Amino acid sequence: MEIKLNLNSKEATSSELVVLGSFATTEKKGKKEVKAASLTNWPKEVKDYFSGLKSASSFNGDKGAQFFFDFEGTRYLAFGLGEKKALGNEDARKTFANVVKAIKDSHTSASFQLDTMMAKGGLENTASILTEALELTTYFFDKYLSNKKQAKLKKVNFDSKEKKTAAKKIQNAIDEAQKITESVNVARNFVNEPPNILNSESYAKEVLKDVKGIKGVKAKVLGKADLKKHKMGMFLSVNAGSAYEPQLVHLTYTPSKVTKNTKHIAFVGKGLTFDTGGYSLKPGGSMVNMKFDMAGSATVYGAFRAAALLGLPVKVSCFLGMTDNAVNSLATMPDSIVTAMNGKTVEILNTDAEGRLVMGDVLTYASNHKPDVIIDSATLTGACLVALGTEVCGLMGNDDKLKNSLKKAAGNVDEYIWELPIMQEWRDDMKSNIADLKNIGSNRFAGTPKAAAFLENFVGEGIAWAHLDIAGCGDSQAHLPYCPPKGASGVMVRTLVEFMRSQK
Ligand code: BES
Ligand code: MN
Ligand code: ZN
């Protein structure tokens, strides 16, 4: 599907469908209040025709209302946005997404007239939200379908004959939204890829391929020998039963201008291409979908990629810890004691608590690069779904300012994030009698922040650190019309990009 965004009605369109928005207004007719569609900025002839159309009389601009009609050889779709003052960004995003859903499989091209559907923040913001809705809603993982019946978005074109600054600003808003949402979709693609195709080695290769050519980016990959050299005993213990090499992908983005005030942000991502549980094997039902256990790494990679494409004025490092958690005769057995890169010893009581082992060593490695902040993202605990549901991202960390900036960023882009505390009692619970730490708590309570209490041991002195547990929100968000009903959500990429934008 090809999409055009038009600035106003004067601009000719050659699309199969013209999409016009309308708010709902209440008019006083005598003593009665009557709801009506505003039809603001509609082309005059179309407005006159539509107003006289009997079958359209029930269309009053209510949020979600849709009405197709034909006029002078052109097909139109009128859709409602509800009351103007009640329309927030997320309402607009969802309404636009539902419009896209209604037309994507039945039309090959459509033209949206922007000034009829103005969300808060004017044309630029509207263009940006609409682009997000278009890019995110037309995503579909059809790589392995013989019959690719879903309509993909070919392009969002901005059509404006008015080459004024306003048009330039709108074009810019569209370009930026496209860079971000394309990166969300790249993250979704990685997560949806099955484990027989995406293993640590192929994943690392694909990331390097994807990032190649982006300005300011450097990449390197550490393999098994490097991990041994760095004494990453925890990471290696998870990889012990694998047929593939562990891979630590290390990406850096350096902006074109660097001063001593340039912030250095480090991302760390859990890249478990499959989690069987290891010897503490998952039951069959819980193992299905564990291809998604690398969603944390895909999320931070997506954010990193977007930052580089946008040329944000921050330095960003990205560390992705990749392996599967498999079983063979060499796989780590429960009761094993391993030594982490930072020298701490860990008693492994459950090989299914593997994410924290990989993340711990990668956090040490990231800390050694002396960033100002570290944000990690991981599908770390099933307990996060119990605590916060499948919709909300868990947030933990050691620095209020960082946590508050992340909460604010999530709010700005309408993603759900909620903080859980790390109590001293839970730190104590992660201590072992025969090693410095153990990898699980002594009961099943507070599983999510106890995992964070474990990770905290591997964050370098004085570094502000935040941990995102995306075990719930990383997967399908069926309540969001711009997320596929099944598979990777891509949620939190936009939050992390917004966070980086706020760090100057
Ligand atoms: N990858 C899982 C966490 C997970 C579970 C994410 C379900 C999404 C859905 C993680 O490696 C894991 O297995 N965690 C264990 C920890 C436990 C053994 C302390 C869990 O949550 O059961
Ligand atoms: Mn596990
Ligand atoms: Zn896992």
Please write down the HEC assignment for all residues of 280-331. CCCCHHHHCCHHHHHHHHHHHHHHHHHHHHHCCCCEEEEEEEEEEECCCCCC
Report if residue 455 sits inside a domain. yes
Residue 452 CA, ligand 2 centroid: distance in Å? 15
Q: Does the CB atom of residue 382 touch ligand 1 within 6 A?
A: yes
pLDDT at 156: 82
pLDDT at 155: 75
pLDDT (tens digit per residue) in 309-327: 999 999 999 999 999 999 9
Q: Probe ligand 1: pick from 299, 381, 438, max atoms within 8 Å of CB?
A: 381
pLDDT at residue 503 above 80? yes
Ligand nearest to the CA of 321: 3
Q: Does the CB atom of residue 440 touch ligand 1 within 6 A?
A: yes
Ligand nearest to the CA of 383: 1
Say yes or no: 321 and 260 in one domain: yes
| Rounded CA separation 82/117 (Å) | 11
Say yes or no: 213 and 335 in one domain: yes
Q: Does the CB atom of residue 378 touch ligand 1 within 6 A?
A: no
Selected catalytic residue, list 93, 356, 438, 494: 356
pLDDT at 349: 99
Ligand nearest to the CA of 289: 1
Residue 287 CA, ligand 3 centroid: distance in Å? 10
Say yes or no: 366 and 466 in one domain: yes
pLDDT, the chain, mean: 96
Q: Model's pTM, two decimal places?
A: 0.97
Q: Does the CB atom of residue 381 touch ligand 1 within 6 A?
A: yes
152, 179, 206: which is the final residue of a domain? 179
pLDDT at residue 109 above 80? yes
pLDDT at 154: 76
Q: Does the CB atom of residue 475 touch ligand 1 within 6 A?
A: no
Mean pLDDT within 331-341: 99
pLDDT at residue 382 above 70? yes
Residue 353 CA, ligand 1 centroid: distance in Å? 6
CA angle 221, 139, 114 (to 5 degrees): 120
pLDDT at residue 158 above 90? no
Say yes or no: 245 and 393 in one domain: yes
Say yes or no: 199 and 142 in one domain: no
pLDDT at 29: 81
CA angle 257, 300, 460 (to 5 degrees): 80
257 is catalytic: no
pLDDT at 396: 99
Say yes or no: 210 and 167 in one domain: no
Report if residue 336 sits inside a domain. yes
Mean pLDDT within 28-54: 93
The CATH code of the domain that includes 403 is 3.40.630.10
Say yes or no: 394 and 478 in one domain: yes
Report if residue 364 sits inside a domain. yes
Say yes or no: 383 and 488 in one domain: yes
pLDDT (tens digit per residue) in 268-279: 999 999 999 999
Say yes or no: 269 and 292 in one domain: yes
Report if residue 185 sits inside a domain. no
User: Is residue 177 within 8 Å of 493, Cβ to Cβ?
Assistant: no
| Rounded CA separation 249/297 (Å) | 10
pLDDT at residue 7 above 70? yes
pLDDT (tens digit per residue) in 421-475: 999 999 999 999 999 999 999 999 999 999 999 999 999 999 999 999 999 999 9
Q: Does the CB atom of residue 383 touch ligand 1 within 6 A?
A: yes
179, 210, 238: which is the final residue of a domain? 179
Q: How many residues in total does the chain contain? A: 504
User: Residue 169's domain spans which residues?
Assistant: 2-179
Q: Probe ligand 1: pick from 352, 429, 430, 448, max atoms within 8 Å of CB?
A: 352
| Rounded CA separation 258/194 (Å) | 40
Say yes or no: 82 and 211 in one domain: no
From the alpha carbon of 272, which atom of ligand 1 is closest? 1
Say yes or no: 220 and 159 in one domain: no
Mean pLDDT within 135-151: 90
pLDDT at 213: 97
Q: What is the DSSP string of 187-221?
A: HHHHHHS-TTT--HHHHHHHHHHHHTT-TTEEEEE
408 is catalytic: no
Question: Burial code of 39-58, b = ≥16 C-beta within 10 A, e = fewer?
Answer: bbbbbeebbebbeeeeebee
Residue 219 CA, ligand 1 centroid: distance in Å? 30
pLDDT (tens digit per residue) in 193-224: 999 999 999 999 999 999 999 999 999 999 99
Q: Does the CB atom of residue 469 touch ligand 1 within 6 A?
A: no
Q: Does the CB atom of residue 390 touch ligand 1 within 6 A?
A: no
pLDDT at residue 290 above 80? yes
Q: Does the CB atom of residue 351 touch ligand 1 within 6 A?
A: no
Say yes or no: 137 and 224 in one domain: no
pLDDT at 112: 95
How many Cβ atoms from other residues are within 10 Å of residue 479's Cβ? 10
pLDDT at residue 12 above 70? no
Total number of domains constituting the chain = 2
Residue 377 CA, ligand 2 centroid: distance in Å? 15
Report if residue 186 sits inside a domain. no
Selected catalytic residue, list 169, 282, 344, 427: 282
Residue whose Cα lies nearest atom 13 of ligand 1: it is 352
Residue 139 CA, ligand 1 centroid: distance in Å? 28
Q: Does the CB atom of residue 376 touch ligand 1 within 6 A?
A: no
Question: Burial code of 206-229, b = ≥16 C-beta within 10 A, e = fewer?
Answer: bbeeebeebebbebebbebebbee
Helices (H) and strands (E) in the chain — how many of each?
15, 19
pLDDT at 469: 99
| Rounded CA separation 348/437 (Å) | 9
pLDDT (tens digit per residue) in 384-418: 999 999 999 999 999 999 999 999 999 999 999 99
Report if residue 462 sits inside a domain. yes
Report if residue 382 sits inside a domain. yes
> Cα dihedral sign for 300, 304, 309, 310?
positive
Report if residue 397 sits inside a domain. yes
The CATH code of the domain that includes 89 is 3.40.220.10
